[in-house]
């Protein structure tokens, strides 16, 4: 597999097919991140916008960080721009791959339970501050390193760690307000 940086160089030399490879390689990740930040209704449009922006700004890619981090920074900024000034609908923020589980393993009751659980979690995640939700998605759902998140969000490394700590604490507090759904003990009971 050809490294991203070589595909960038080929694209800058006029090989548009090389950029198509980059799009295929990173489209799923970009769409997931965008959908988790703004919801899935507008994710396809914003994802397309991300790749258009990336194509037009490709000459600005310096190569001092991975292409993936550079692209996710564009995705992050595009999602925030799209999100500004409107309240997103409550939608699924993550795809847990349940459709990839063989149907012989998943019963209709399991599928319904999974759907309900995802919907409840989505509602809880929507209550989080956008900056917290963003770092939580990038770290805990997409598995980016702290350094990559710092690059993507243009935030100092220490701030990323602090924001992630606060994001997890915020989510736990939101979940505690509905212990029926999540069976989390009240913090006072454990003290």
Question: What pLDDT, in 10s, does the model give residues 14-60?
Answer: 999 999 999 999 999 999 999 888 888 889 999 999 999 999 999 99
Residue 71 pLDDT exceeds 80: yes
**pLDDT (average), residues 101-105:** 51
The answer on pLDDT for 88 being more than 90 is: no
Average pLDDT over the chain, rounded to an integer: 82
pTM tops 0.85, yes or no: no
Q: Domains in the chain, start-ordered, CATH in brackets?
A: 1-87 (1.10.1740.10), 104-191 (1.10.10.10)
Nearest to 166 by CA among 188, 122, 134, 126: 134
Per-residue pLDDT at 112 exceeds 90 = no
Given pLDDT bands bounded at 50, 70 and 90, which one contains residue 97?
very low
């Amino acid at each position: 597999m050809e490294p991203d940086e070589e595909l960038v160089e080929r694209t800058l030399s006029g090989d548009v097919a090389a950029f198509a490879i980059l799009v295929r390689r990173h489209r799923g990740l970009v769409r997931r991140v965008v959908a988790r930040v703004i919801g899935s209704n507008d994710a396809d449009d914003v994802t397309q916008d991300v790749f258009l922006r990336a194509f037009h700004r490709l000459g600005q890619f310096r190569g001092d960080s991975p292409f993936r981090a550079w692209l996710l920074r564009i995705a992050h900024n595009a999602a925030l721009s799209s999100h500004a000034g409107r309240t997103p609908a409550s939608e699924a923020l993550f795809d847990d791959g349940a459709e990839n589980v063989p149907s012989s393993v998943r019963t209709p009751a399991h599928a319904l339970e999974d759907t309900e659980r995802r919907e409840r979690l989505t509602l809880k995640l929507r209550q989080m501050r956008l900056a917290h939700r963003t770092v939580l998605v990038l770290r805990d759902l997409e598995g980016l390193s702290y350094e990559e998140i710092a690059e993507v969000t243009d935030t100092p490394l220490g701030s990323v760690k602090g924001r992630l700590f606060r994001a997890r604490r915020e989510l736990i507090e939101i979940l505690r307000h509905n212990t029926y759904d999540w069976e989390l003990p009240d913090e006072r009971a454990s003290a």
